[in-house]
Structure 1
């Protein structure tokens, strides 16, 4: 019996363990941290062996195949041992994709991938059987085991792409590439770009790569490193023959001389970046022969994802906005760009090698006060102290919201858009966003 070891007992790990067992592997799950109670119960119920708060080296190195959770970095001692022993390591999407013949839409990028994945799924599910997985929702492996949909929309991080070998989406999307997670890529932007482009590495000319043609990082990389896929760019600034572009507030999508038009006047999501997300999602829908009317209606009634520029409440004519999902500078750039009123900005967390320069013009123009919410706020203070009259520090969400309440006047926004990871004070960005919403509701 082949031995499958699953490193990490979270959503992707448990899904892989269940699928692995069903496919005849002897499965062992090992997590250096604690495994959540709900996952333990699944493992016990399915008679899968597991351990927590430790890695039993002998047991792990006896594996024929190892599935590594995306959160575990290459520099972890256990991973180094595994690599030295030459054991094959895969990610969940690589493992699960071997057991499905579904059409796969894979979406990666530094920002916009959750919104684009959710929007694409929202359109496709009107007419197709389709699962939503990857970095979002139930694990891909578990869905392959339980539902085996004919189509999947997968939100895929660079960490998941680092451990693929044969994984190949029929349609790949790269929303954009800006410096992020550089701490995991030896602070080399090139390594991170290369990691994102792995999404297309196994594609053939029968597959499609949809990408932002306005993103120089992407277009320069494609010039130097051509891919085999059929290219479908989208752009807000220039006409494209095949792909999508914007003209007179109308998205025009052309595939093999077949053109459809989508007006943007009634898009449910506002902002330039959301026009791009809509272009990418509609291009997929057009490729998969979804009716034009269905695409248009879906774009008009889709209301976005939690923790992404999510309006929380209006109190005393001040709008509170939860953008906790902005875990890098570029995501916060979009948030500040879309602010049309004076803004009290709550920022900070675990810095991943951030360069705040691209935010300067927006901060000068729109931000009236800054609240730094992190264990170490030195870099934020250095960058922004001279730009605003008020800049304060705190390590508690409730306090941050109370300070914002005092600083904001009628007609202002209070924006939580941290530009950083959440792990210094919170479990994850969802926990941070929920604490923000709770604190606002308790004002």
Structure 2
């Protein structure tokens, strides 16, 4: 009798995992508490996979040999607890997919910058002619690509939620950009639990593998002492220090590798700003490790198109610049956005608070922000922290109201910045929906 695989959640990750399980000959069942999008229903039907939506039928799930869980489902969901009680293994889609490919895995995580770094790394590898797929939090599901394609390399963006249910999977090149508080509501409001999840990207690495990380991150530095990693360590930093493989010297970015060193001026980089400097360094080191020619790396770094919803310039209207940073779903992301601003800012903040501590951006708000528009169902925490710290603080319950109020307060030469610090699920379907609505409202001014 074939092994029974149950997939919980039928989004990009779950549907892809179900297809791979079916292709490999397993008895597959898919269950989603929400309604399944038509494109995923059609995909499941195409492979004759049985599915249900809007509920979980326990007797069809608790008879599984193994369960693949979508990353959005928390560990304390009743169905997950029921599976744990019966000692039924629960894994991630990435863990499952990794069993069926010998491709080299370039895996990227961090509290901020991981999408940009993932897309930039993929851009460098693809432009250099490598047979490479893009997966994880961006691109198509890794499992679906393993089922239907034959890539030699994958560049994978990994969230802490995906890392939580990965056990035997190994990153040949692991990149850890930074660790700052995020998703603490999913980690029992315990920062160490979140740190441990991020460091899972290094698990199973051997002497043949590479770990790339930000040398100046205090959390990473402390954890490195505790982990005794076997992988080769390739840190990057703002300034040159012993052992650092990428750093800035005057206006040059220097990338060191065992056999060669090359540089690119900061003005040549397509991505500007201090945070993007680090993203470019991390991507460059990984490309160097893979022996990509320095000319190819340099060309890709200079012609890369940025990420939508991340410090995305939308329009300049009557002298006011509008920037969409909807992807800033935590305080540290907003810190990076504010740090890169060179004008006075009208800041649109708010959404579903994940246990945020706003002290991290307090001094930047003091120096650069003339007004805050609180966009959320419940703005009480924002008011409790920021009232009296900026000249103007107003509430908005829709994106149109927020944009209208921000434009009314802004003067020519100011920037209206949507950088919410929070998840979007109180008023919007996703951070993409939030950013798209912002752009629409700006264009309609």
For the aligned pair, the TM-score class normalised by the smaller chain equals: over 0.9
User: Contact 1:234–1:240 (CA<8 Å) still a contact in 2?
Assistant: no
Deviations 1:72-113 (A, max 9, x none): 001101100001110111101100011111111000000000
Cα separation, 2, equivalents of 1:48 and 1:23: 13
Cα separation, 1, equivalents of 2:23 and 2:421: 41
Aligned partner of residue 127 in structure 2, secondary structure: coil
User: Contact 2:215–2:244 (CA<8 Å) still a contact in 1?
Assistant: no
Shift of 1:39: 0.9
- Does residue 71 of structure 1 match 2:72? yes
Q: Which runs of 5+ in 1 are unaligned?
A: none
C-alpha RMSD of matched pairs (Å): 0.9
* 2:198 equivalent in structure 1: 196
Deviations 1:135-172 (A, max 9, x none): 11111111111222111000000110110110001000
Aligned partner of residue 265 in structure 1, secondary structure: helix
Aligned partner of residue 52 in structure 2, secondary structure: strand
User: Contact 2:237–2:244 (CA<8 Å) still a contact in 1?
Assistant: no
* 1:113 equivalent in structure 2: 114
2:265 to 263, 266, 269: 263
* 2:51 equivalent in structure 1: 50
Aligned partner of residue 6 in structure 1, secondary structure: strand
* 2:381 equivalent in structure 1: 379
Shift of 1:52: 0.5
Aligned partner of residue 354 in structure 2, secondary structure: coil
* 2:98 equivalent in structure 1: 97
Shift of 1:405: 1.4
Shift of 1:322: 0.3
Aligned partner of residue 289 in structure 1, secondary structure: coil
Cα separation, 2, equivalents of 1:46 and 1:303: 36
* 1:284 equivalent in structure 2: 286
1:223 to 220, 225, 246: 225
Cα separation, 2, equivalents of 1:71 and 1:184: 10
Q: Which runs of 5+ in 2 are unaligned?
A: none
Shift of 1:202: 0.6
Cα separation, 2, equivalents of 1:210 and 1:272: 18
User: Contact 2:235–2:243 (CA<8 Å) still a contact in 1?
Assistant: no
- Does residue 275 of structure 1 match 2:291? no
Shift of 1:265: 2.0
Shift of 1:45: 2.1
Aligned partner of residue 268 in structure 2, secondary structure: coil
* 1:421 equivalent in structure 2: 423
1:145 to 127, 144, 147: 147
- Does residue 62 of structure 1 match 2:63? yes
Aligned partner of residue 39 in structure 1, secondary structure: helix
Cα separation, 2, equivalents of 1:264 and 1:226: 34
Structural mapping, 1:336-355, within 5 Å: 336-355=338-357
* 2:157 equivalent in structure 1: 155
Deviations 1:240-291 (A, max 9, x none): 4352121122222222253222222211111111110000000011011111
Cα separation, 1, equivalents of 2:163 and 2:320: 41
1:164 to 163, 166, 174: 166
User: Contact 1:241–1:254 (CA<8 Å) still a contact in 2?
Assistant: no
* 1:335 equivalent in structure 2: 337
Aligned partner of residue 80 in structure 2, secondary structure: helix
* 2:250 equivalent in structure 1: 248
* 2:307 equivalent in structure 1: 305
Structure 1 segments, 4+ long, off by >3 Å, are: none
Normalised by the size of structure 2, how large is the TM-score?
A: 0.98
User: How many residues were matched structurally?
Assistant: 443
Which 10-residue stretch deviates more, 263-272 or 248-257? 248-257
Deviations 1:286-313 (A, max 9, x none): 0111111111111111121000000001
Aligned partner of residue 395 in structure 2, secondary structure: strand
Shift of 1:62: 0.6
Q: 1:206 to 1:242 in 2, by over 3 A?
A: farther
User: Contact 1:68–1:91 (CA<8 Å) still a contact in 2?
Assistant: yes
Cα separation, 2, equivalents of 1:386 and 1:419: 19
Shift of 1:239: 2.1
* 2:239 equivalent in structure 1: 237
Cα separation, 2, equivalents of 1:352 and 1:312: 27
* 1:87 equivalent in structure 2: 88
- Does residue 433 of structure 1 match 2:435? yes
